[in-house]
Structure 1
């Protein structure tokens, strides 16, 4: 008698999409195998929560292999991974591809900003004729946002809650945790923005402010980018994967580099093949359904490398759009020195990781009237204050007239906390010049063909970056300060490289038309009914709101649909 398939579902990836998919499917009783390309990671044991920068090599500063500093939670990954190259089209602009290569993926080091996409964001084409509409509306995803926020734990409530900002959806009462009080520099920045007629809102961040589900409330120890041993900051490694394992329905295999989806009879996916990163052995596993959640570009790479006689251009690619419409967030930044903040008494500005405020996009009316040279908006993230100093504090010497010695130290103490930082994060419109394809001339150390990226910012995004800089400069001027970094207003100079903001989405977008999309509104591929994509690859557009919360909400919704279809015998 033939043995039954031991797994109901194989999930490739353990980050936002993979972690949420595993949580839902295991809780619903399906037998799940999770394959993660990177190493195992336990934040409770590995996070240096209380180390100070003087205990780290080079005082914890960035290095080529640790671009966010020595204490950043990413342990084996980054924009470059030894033996795992990728290429960029020499005729285009450079694209930077971040790969964490660890259990939990990017949720271990992410910025935790958790903004819901708004009503406009789901129907952009209907508003301005650019890009495409989503096959779902905000109203359809709203209940899944609610459920996701309740599991993740998101700040944003309190005295500023319910401001009714345009295209910035609120959450139902009782879901959001109260946002910590504004710090001195945030009060000052808020007043500056409001004097310009620009609204300021409490930050929505995945950092809990009260105990929940066995997790301790944040007590403002060290930067969230280190990971979180007390589970206050959301990571799939502490919040989603452990309860899924406790059901007895999830098995996790790390260091498993998946490179193909294997097809069986009746046009169904029968499993995947992966390489053990330690031994180099090729292993094949089977299941009744497969979920790709390896990150937008990596999921596309797997599909494109999964060529068969029926799918010569890659599995689930009858539309020819796998790898197409790659997007990242538009980014530009400036810094300023504000003399009014000099000489302040020492204070504790630790707070939760990141800012306690942010600036949602305010220019929808101007765009509707055609008054701006770009059609989509951006939000503003802020920084500053008297937080734990690093080596960057030496920049304060630039403001001192004393060259060395005790006088210089006194000047630096007087000026500490007087610098502010502003970063714009804006929407990119998908275009035909931005995509990923297989590089036919290069393979990684495992023998897997690598990706070649094509990238080109359009004038819309370049004009948006220029507007960011002008806005920042006006704010700094109103506060009586001087722009110290990001001084130019040329959008081409100001804009970050593609991939540098680490919000890469697209490459297997959802839609209502099989000819122009890869998956339906549930993340189910049009071509192979038991093959799903549940990560950032399926986003048809990339609004100015950070994508992680939406990826998780879509994964919860898609995994619930998958479980229901499996129960009905439809897969």
Structure 2
């Protein structure tokens, strides 16, 4: 067992096929393999090993173009994403409208571990309100599960991957039980100033929750809590936890991590799952469709070997799609002429992304401060949870859902952009004066990014384009997208709030504070938090899967990524994807033990 070829996979018998190796696929495969199932994982991208491929200590000037962004590296040369981005050569997608406001940008990563190698590691729990939003304000959909049902799985995921944070007792911002979270890093100087300004405005600033090890995991006690009654699994994960080192503040997390200090599926989920001897992985395997047996159950999948361009078919007792929300939806839409598991007609419907808007400013108090220790986790130490629930419920804000604030500053490693764009402060300078200005303003900038909830709407969906196919001959997705006024007004509120914080710090706002929310809001897909398309529900007439993310129409077909989400809370979705994938995998195991699958 381990990394194998497509030909080898054809000769083996599996309990479960897992399509995708990121947050959902990695978690599902981990849980299934650790608890006794024989699993085949199919990954569309290439094999990737961050322990050998991560540029841990290279500085920007050592990279081409000084590490600057390109089409194939939208987040810079050192970003961990392989063969991915919003544009993937040979793998197009189509827009259903020519209007700029109705475009959807689809991010993909063609690599083992998917986006978990690149992501920001912000790991926030959905709160009780987030699972029942329609009950609260009459809009969108409720989840068929509650926070209480998912809470034990949040606990497990946080203990397994390692999440730092604090307990604050804030509304709809759940605390973790004692012994689950790791200590949060200390705030930076800029964080303290932002926190002081936020306090004046009544905006809470608390420790962020991020999947980075600030100390070694508790390998003595956590294994028994993760896998009660399973001594073999406990021994495997205890040994694996010992191999993960605490962060020593050397490298931006987006590069990956060779010491396994942050969460990536490739460093956290897959190594112990492989150690069980019950997981096989085939990379460069682009799944095109789910196949059906005569009794209507899923028999397996057909995939394309990206290297040989040959199709191959594998079989199993159950199929789990976790290829990322829209890729899983695409596979289902391509599986039968009308779309597999689509008796409700809802497949591809209710796509959502996170509402985004940002603003930066310059703070004179941060100019020319003495050099000091700014060790940190290459991401947010603090953040602001949504704080206006009562005002919003009373109808005082003009939009129905909230946002959290991510912010930062500090004297990070200088790069090409450090001295760019200073004209708004200097009026334009050259030579010795330019160098003086660069030194003066270095470290005095702060930035704010809002991340808010989108309410699902019937105008945001995807379908199969009738003409265009990718280079593997697989029909591609065509996107339709529209923000409602709830989202655009929310984006305008973000802009106003960020400007108030900057001004409360005695700073200057860079650029325009946009009052028109339709101009302030980031394009659909650009925040890379897309979910939905195969939503879960209590009724097969208006949802694609049930509360266990099991297709209503195909009893041995499950989804374990963001596709089943009926809503997209302001909390980043990755932690919820993993918690739900663990819950779904437990359900599959239980059904298999009872011989119902």
TM-score bracket relative to the smaller structure: over 0.9
Residues 1:51 and 2:43 aligned together:
no
Contact persistence 1:396–1:415 (CA under 8 A): no
| Aligned equivalents of 1:553, 1:261: Cα separation in 2 | 25
Contact persistence 1:116–1:545 (CA under 8 A): yes
Which aligned pairs between 1:126-525 and structure 2 lie closer than 5 A?
126-157=135-166, 162-212=167-217, 213=241, 214-307=243-336, 312-395=337-420, 397-398=422-423, 399-400=425-426, 403-485=429-511, 487-525=513-551
| Aligned equivalents of 1:405, 1:442: Cα separation in 2 | 52
Partner of 2:231: none
CA 1:485–1:106 in structure 2 vs 1: closer, same or farther (change >3 Å)?
farther
Partner of 2:229: none
| Aligned equivalents of 1:281, 1:531: Cα separation in 2 | 25
Of 88, 94, 107, the match for 1:87: 94
How high is the TM-score relative to the length of structure 2?
0.93
Q: Once the 2 structures are TM-superposed, how far is the Cα of residue 240 of structure 1 from its aligned partner?
A: 0.4
Instruction: Please state whether the residue corresponding to 1:191 is helix, strand or coil.
Output: helix
Instruction: Please state whether the residue corresponding to 2:585 is helix, strand or coil.
Output: helix
| Aligned equivalents of 1:346, 1:401: Cα separation in 2 | 27
Residues 1:116 and 2:125 aligned together:
yes
Contact persistence 1:43–1:237 (CA under 8 A): yes
How high is the TM-score relative to the length of structure 1?
0.97
Contact persistence 2:16–2:39 (CA under 8 A): yes
Q: Which moved more, 1:518-527 or 1:423-432?
A: 518-527
Residues 1:22 and 2:51 aligned together:
no
Alpha-carbon RMSD: 1.2
Q: Once the 2 structures are TM-superposed, how far is the Cα of residue 350 of structure 1 from its aligned partner?
A: 3.9
Q: Once the 2 structures are TM-superposed, how far is the Cα of residue 351 of structure 1 from its aligned partner?
A: 0.4
Contact persistence 1:382–1:420 (CA under 8 A): yes
Residue deviations 1:119-177 (CA, integer Å, cap 9, x gap): 100000000000011001001110110011110100003xxxx3211100000011101
Partner of 2:581: 555
Residue deviations 1:495-514 (CA, integer Å, cap 9, x gap): 00000000000001111111
Instruction: Please state whether the residue corresponding to 1:393 is helix, strand or coil.
Output: coil
| Aligned equivalents of 2:441, 2:190: Cα separation in 1 | 13
Q: Once the 2 structures are TM-superposed, how far is the Cα of residue 347 of structure 1 from its aligned partner?
A: 2.5
Unaligned runs of 5+ in 2: 1-9, 218-240
Residue deviations 1:478-530 (CA, integer Å, cap 9, x gap): 11111114532211111000000000000011111111111111111111111
| Aligned equivalents of 2:117, 2:43: Cα separation in 1 | 14
| Aligned equivalents of 2:327, 2:168: Cα separation in 1 | 39
Contact persistence 1:328–1:542 (CA under 8 A): yes
CA 1:402–1:97 in structure 2 vs 1: closer, same or farther (change >3 Å)?
closer
Instruction: Please state whether the residue corresponding to 2:419 is helix, strand or coil.
Output: helix
Instruction: Please state whether the residue corresponding to 1:185 is helix, strand or coil.
Output: helix
Partner of 2:7: none
Q: Once the 2 structures are TM-superposed, how far is the Cα of residue 267 of structure 1 from its aligned partner?
A: 1.1
| Aligned equivalents of 2:96, 2:511: Cα separation in 1 | 30
Contact persistence 2:465–2:478 (CA under 8 A): yes
Q: Once the 2 structures are TM-superposed, how far is the Cα of residue 401 of structure 1 from its aligned partner?
A: 5.8
Residue deviations 1:423-470 (CA, integer Å, cap 9, x gap): 000000000000010000111111100000000111110000000000
Contact persistence 2:385–2:403 (CA under 8 A): yes
> Number of matched residues?
561
Contact persistence 2:419–2:442 (CA under 8 A): no
